[in-house]
Amino acid sequence: MRTETAELTHKVQSSFVDLPISVIIPVRNEAQNLPRCLESLHGAGEIIVIDSQSSDETCEVARRRFAQVVQFHYHGGWPKKRQWAIDNLPLKFDWVLLLDADEALTTQLKQEIRAAISCPEINGYWIKLQMHFLGRRLRHCGATFSKLSLFRHGKGHFECRIADQDSSMCDIEVHEHVMVDGQTARLQSAIVHNNVSSLSRYLEKHNEYSNWEARVWTETADNAGSLPPALFGTQAQRRRWLRKHFFMLPGSPLFLFLYRYLFRFGFLDGKPGLFYCALQAIQLFQVKAKIYELRLRQAAPARVEPC
């Protein structure tokens, strides 16, 4: 009886498509964050959770809320998780929304998306993030930014900044951005982003991110397939330009902390603001240290094994 009731509920929910989009959610051990994300997607046409062999109840949580679960096995290289899903899954709808497990839609944003995808001239939309960290919304710290998260299927793809990647650099796109063929616009409403559920998990993920970033800054140059740095371009291009020119200055992690905490008024966000600004600076310090390590390895002469 319970099985029949669940199947009937699933059919009823599937027949009610209030938001005709395909939502892709990459996950790994996100059982704690995923329920809030999925509940905010009620009425979405299709929800696909791309899992990387989670060891917690992530898959069970997704299936209980009628999301489709697909396993992604990463063995290095390109594409990574989101681009692989875009390239290989038979998506049912013309519009794709990329969402993380610690993000959620608001009612206002869903209404705005519903109207936006009916515009024939626009192929992609930037959506800003409303950042929450350690239980507090960050209104300062320079923590406000936008992502090109919504685009027509077939019109958007991730830039590939480095093709030769390994599993230590994590299986998901880090600071690669979506590039859209055609015109883009901005939505006014924001995605609610709960940035951290535990500091241990936060540090674990950002350790992998710093592995990726050290390789990118050591081994690659700007190319036609990536988003070019530009001081007067999009927000993503400005951030990349500033990072490129500011990155190798002596003391740049300290300057980054002071910029975020003092000049962007991070101190007004209380202890979460202090911790956020400090952790951002520490990550930059990690990247610089790992770049130094990589260059030492590259400069070291190859060992010759004795006969």
Tokens of 198: 């535990």
Tell whether 307 is covered by a domain. Answer: no
Grouping H, G, I as helix, E, B as strand and the rest as coil, residue 192 is strand
Does some domain include residue 306? no
* pLDDT under 70: residue ranges of the chain: 1-16, 197, 220-225, 301-307
Phi, psi for residue 208 in degrees, rounded to 5:
-65, -40
| 162: containing domain | 2-299
**Domain total of the chain:** 1
80 lies in a domain? yes
- Residue 221 has a pLDDT of 54
* 305 inside domain: no
Residues 34, 192: Cα–Cα separation, whole Å = 13
Strands 136-137 and 183-194, how do they pair? Answer: unpaired
First-residue to last-residue Cα distance in the chain: 74
Read off the pLDDT of residues 259-291 as tens digits, 9 standing for 90 and up.
999 999 999 999 999 999 999 999 999 999 999
Q: What is the DSSP string of 215-242?
A: HHHHH----TTSPPP-TTS-HHHHHHHH
Which residue is listed with tokens 């209030």?
Answer: 18
- Asked if the structure places residue 304 within a domain, the reply is no
* CATH number, domain with residue 38: 3.90.550
Q: 13 lies in a domain? A: yes
Tell me the sheet residues that pair with 158: 178
Nearest alpha-carbon partner for 51 in 153, 159, 171? 171
Q: Is residue 189 part of a domain?
A: yes
Q: Would you tell me how many other CB atoms lie within 10 Å of the CB of residue 269?
A: 24
* Cβ neighbours of residue 40 closer than 8 Å, sequence gap 6 or more: 104, 105, 106, 192
- Give pLDDT tens digits for 64-96: 999 999 999 999 999 999 999 999 999 999 999
